[in-house]
């Protein structure tokens, strides 16, 4: 880019920033409230444990739709390409 074009871009950018600053000056300010929570590790109350029958049904359904498994029946997953 030529020096002339760079100067035009700089002037245009400065004009945009100045216009934005002028418009933003008239915007109403909004007061925000922040709440601090002193209790850490807030847990939900647990319900009744799931029955063995429901767990077995879930396992059967999961095994039907899972893509691949090893000899022991464990789920096989692919390593993400970005980690290679």
Please list the rounded mean pLDDT of every run of 10 residues in the chain (84 residues). Answer: 90 95 87 77 76 91 84 82 74
Q: Which of 54, 78, 55 is nearest to 66 (CA)?
A: 78
pLDDT of res. 55: 92
In angstroms, rounded to a whole number, what is the distance separating the alpha carbons of residues 4 and 11?
A: 11
């Amino acid at each position: 880019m030529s020096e002339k074009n760079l100067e035009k871009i700089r002037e245009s950018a400065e004009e945009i920033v100045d216009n934005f600053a002028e418009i933003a000056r008239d915007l109403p300010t909004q007061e925000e409230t922040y709440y601090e929570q002193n209790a850490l590790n807030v847990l939900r109350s647990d319900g009744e444990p799931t029955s063995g029958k429901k767990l077995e049904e879930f396992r059967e359904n999961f095994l039907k739709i899972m893509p691949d498994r090893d000899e022991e029946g464990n789920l096989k997953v692919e390593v993400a390409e970005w980690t290679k």
